[in-house]
Chain A
Amino acid sequence: MYRETEILKQPGAGEPDVFGDMIINIGPQHPSTHGVLHLVITLNGETIKKVEPHLGYIHRSIEKMCESLSFRQFIYVTSKMDYLSSHINNHGCCLCVEKGMQIEVPARAQVIRVLMDELTRLASHQLWWGAGAMDIGALTPFFHAFREREMINDIMEETCGTRLTMNYMVPGGVMVDVHPNFQGRVHEFIKHFKTKIDEYDELLTGNVIFQNRVKGVGYLSKEDAISYGCTGPTARGSGVSCDIRKLYPYEVYSKLQFDEVTETGGDCLARYLVRMKEMRQSLSIVEQLIDNIPEGDVQAKTKAVLKLPKGEYFSRVETARGEFGVYIVSEGGTTPYRIKFRSPGYSNLSALDHMARGGKIGDLVAIMAMIDLVIPDIDR
């Protein structure tokens, strides 16, 4: 474990020596960190010697808070963690409660849930693409990405009532049936986005400046990705197969045709390509499901007050950033005894020091952009 005091004790530190180490702070309010992430960076010239993230600026103690909320209420709070994957977070919590209560989710609700998950993943990746490109210095993609994301947000707004923190999934299904316009608008979106995703590649992927900024930067080997506990596109960019949708399929994922995207580069470009290909996969999942939503109920009959039987329950889902796990210990009451969330951002952030060490300070921004950090997810 590293402390600032140790750095100060290192030879050369703090002395007016041009060749000595320099410690600089990025954040907590640095514009390139997308949120209140505080990084203490030890530099030698422009070369990074150490990156230490300091957490706690937006700690809201969500796990503790959930202990005082009922099994219906706590699901809502999890949308405030990874707000860009709020549907998927809620999904994981619902799966865990349903496992404990042994609730059978109707087929229609399952399909709607998966559709919402994939639309959320698309929206999240679009935001990442725009904001990540902006960090690296290309401003135009940001506006292109927001145009498509707006369409998804409008679909969400119409069906769920909100645009970001939906609280649409409830134990036993979804809150209400989809809006009558839902299918039409999703078709419209698919048609629109299919042409635009090629435009994304044209604008950014092949650009030399972009390629130079990400190729070979922030290398993470397969072994390191596993030992740091990375998941999601960060690990899949290093060739680790870790897609929960494939490995531990939930809901209707086992019946769908889609590929797990992996790249072997291990650098920022590989992580970028994984996400770009994932967008196409998500689009194909949405396409497969949108015309095949089965008829029926959207919510199983549940009691007004849920009491989870005594025991321990765990469920996991694949969010846009990696594996999200929910672990509930119940004593048989109406509130959980203990809740633990395994959020993808925290483990992915832990590999940041490893990726950035030895690189230049300018690359740090590219590395952070390509891990796709959402700070409230790390600091929950």
Chain B
Amino acid sequence: MFLVNYIKDVLSGIKSLATGMKVTGWYALHHRKEKITQQYPDNKDTLVLPERFRGEVVMPHDEHNEHACTGCTACELACPNATIKIVTKFDIQPDGKKKKAIDKFVYHLELCTFCNLCIEACPTDAIKMAQTFEHSVFDRTNLTKILNKPGSKIREGIE
């Protein structure tokens, strides 16, 4: 009796093994069609990330070096990690009036968790997420960025 059970066990073991190996064998024969890996650094030119991908916060500037940021600090308040720091200054307008504008839009990439709350909070859509993802640098200080370009100013008509 023991021997019969023993042989039965062995046979059922072989059967279940064969079932699993059938799947593996199928993939071994169809490896070209079923290939799912990407050769990452080699496919850099063709790699397209979705437009909503949250890579880093950037401030788009137009051809006149103008942006849409009014310096309202809504994004700074919305950020849970104090990633954004806005330094404002007062511009003297041609008519002699003072107007609040951003001096520096400081963005700490090393603190950012890509939650998108700042982008949602901005009333003028002055900032957006870029699709970059290779953020490693040799020095931590390189991760602190000033998003407004030097000499840039606010676009006409944005309040």
Contact = CB atoms under 8 A, between A and B. Distances in A.
Interface of A: 69, 72-74, 76-77, 140, 147, 150, 157-162, 165, 167, 170, 175-176, 179, 199, 202-204, 206-209, 304
Q: How large is the interface on B (under 10, 10 to 19, 20 to 34, 35 or more residues)?
A: 20 to 34
Nearest to B24: A140
17 contacts: A72-B117, A73-B117, A76-B80, A76-B115, A77-B80, A150-B36, A157-B50, A157-B53, A161-B50, A167-B115, A176-B52, A179-B52, A206-B16, A207-B20, A208-B13, A209-B13, A304-B74
Contacts, number: 67
A161 B117 contact: no
Contact of B116 (A74, A161, A179): A161
A160 B115 contact: no
Interface string B2-29: 0000000000110011011011100000
A179 B74 CA distance: 26
Nearest to A165: B113
Interface in B33-61: 36, 49-50, 52-54
A206 B15 CA distance: 10
B101 interface: no
A264 B22 CA distance: 31
Given A76-B115, A175-B116, A304-B121, A160 B19 contact: no
Contacts of A76: 80, 113, 115, 117
A72 B75 CA distance: 13
Nearest to A204: B20
Given A160-B52, A162-B54, A208-B16, A167 B22 contact: no
A202 B22 contact: yes
Contacts of B114: 161-162
A132 to B, nearest CB: 16
B143 interface: no
Name, among B17, B50, B115, the residue most crowded by chain A CB atoms within 10 Å (CB to CB).
B115
In the A-B complex, the 8 residue pairs with the closest CB atoms? A73-B80, A161-B52, A161-B54, A158-B50, A167-B115, A76-B115, A208-B16, A208-B13
A203 B78 contact: no
Contact of A208 (B12, B50, B53, B129): B12
B120 A175 contact: yes
B117 A179 contact: no
Given A76-B80, A157-B50, A179-B50, A203 B36 contact: no
Interface in B128-146: 129
Given A167-B117, A208-B13, A202 B36 contact: no
B148 to A, nearest CB: 23
Contacts of B19: 202, 206-207
A154 to B, nearest CB: 8
Contacts of B129: 161
Given A167-B117, A208-B16, A203 B53 contact: no
Interface string B78-90: 1110000000000
Contacts of A175: 116, 120
B52 A203 contact: no
A12 B69 CA distance: 72
Given A161-B52, A161-B114, 14 more contacts: A69-B80, A72-B117, A73-B80, A76-B113, A140-B20, A160-B52, A161-B50, A161-B129, A162-B53, A162-B54, A179-B50, A206-B16, A207-B20, A208-B16
B124 to A, nearest CB: 14
